[in-house]
A and B are shown apart, each in its own frame.
Chain A
Amino acid sequence: MSILSDALEHHPETQPFWSALGEGRFLLKHCRACGRAHWYPRAICPFCTSADTEWREASGDGTIYSYSIMRKAKEPYAIAYVTLAEGPTMMTNIVDSDLEAIRIGGSVRIAIGKRDEDLLPLFRLA
């Protein structure tokens, strides 16, 4: 099942993100005017409205802001908000990890991988 690929045709604005992800690179949008990174990526900075935004490769490091393990599923899975080292907090899944070991404040590391058919910016416990 692919939730993402059917949707992406509607989102040319963020096509570079998904292209880079396919090459193993995790990009963030930074604003050259105000210096802040934001999430999810936009053409216009949501903080200062400058259109002078650029893609930069992220460190891939983060900490768990919150999470939940969905038990009502064929395979339990962990959804989480991860606060990136660069500042913004993003929704993701914690994968390749002991789900019972997930804690708020825990360190995570980018683990680009597939969920169903979609290649996504996932994270694993560091």
Chain B
Amino acid sequence: MKASVGGYARASDLRHALELLSGSGGLGRILAGGQSLIAAMNMRLSAGDLLVDISRVSELSGVSDAGDRLLIGALTRHVEIGGNPLIRQHAPLLSQAVQYIAHAAIRNRGTIGGALAHADPAAEFPACILALGATLHIEGLNGRRDVAAEDFFRDVFETAIGEGEILTGISVPKAEAKETQVIEEVARRSGDYALAGLCLVKRPAGHRVALFSVGPRPLLARAAMTALDKGDVEGAAQALRDDMDPPSDTQASSAYRQHLAQVLLRRAAARIEGANA
């Protein structure tokens, strides 16, 4: 089908984008890479939007070293995340995740900020930044604020971004010396959204496990994390049952998603053990 768009404006910088958004009478919608939004508009899941195209706002793109953290601009494209040496060194979970996201042509346009703001519960990046304990930077005409990843994802396609605000970037803590990060997922075909997925970060201070595609938003598997901290992988796999209540849909039943999450946890733990051996 064809999109039905209310209007289009191209923002020259962040301030301009925020002014456009504020002048849109609530109909404004941020267009970045467009790989989810334009698909949704073409399917008429969204119609009449006043598009604020931020894709030329260069200040929102790129990766920089900020001491103990990496600052990743919201408009940094998936292909850039996948190839960036700073990310490969300090946040390898994100580098690994890129290979699972759709296909090359989509990774050339899609942006990390777009993926996070869209908050598809089956997407990889939201779960990654939850596992990493990243901070999201949000800006409005009234100023900036920071939101922890754990407080950012509210529900299916719902985040802490308020009316008139734009996600400008994220700060990701650099991996510590003995930290390992892995992502595992199962999809029916390469590039499809996962039936279930899991990010595992092992830090000297403890484990962090984030699940995706098993609920309305990515979630921290706290019971499994506690079990992993005690060195009990099988206990962690069993504990996942307490951490999630996955939905059944045409892609997979709830029980199958639970089974997959357990398999993925065992795989991820084995990979980390292998990496440290």
**Chain A partners chain B:** no
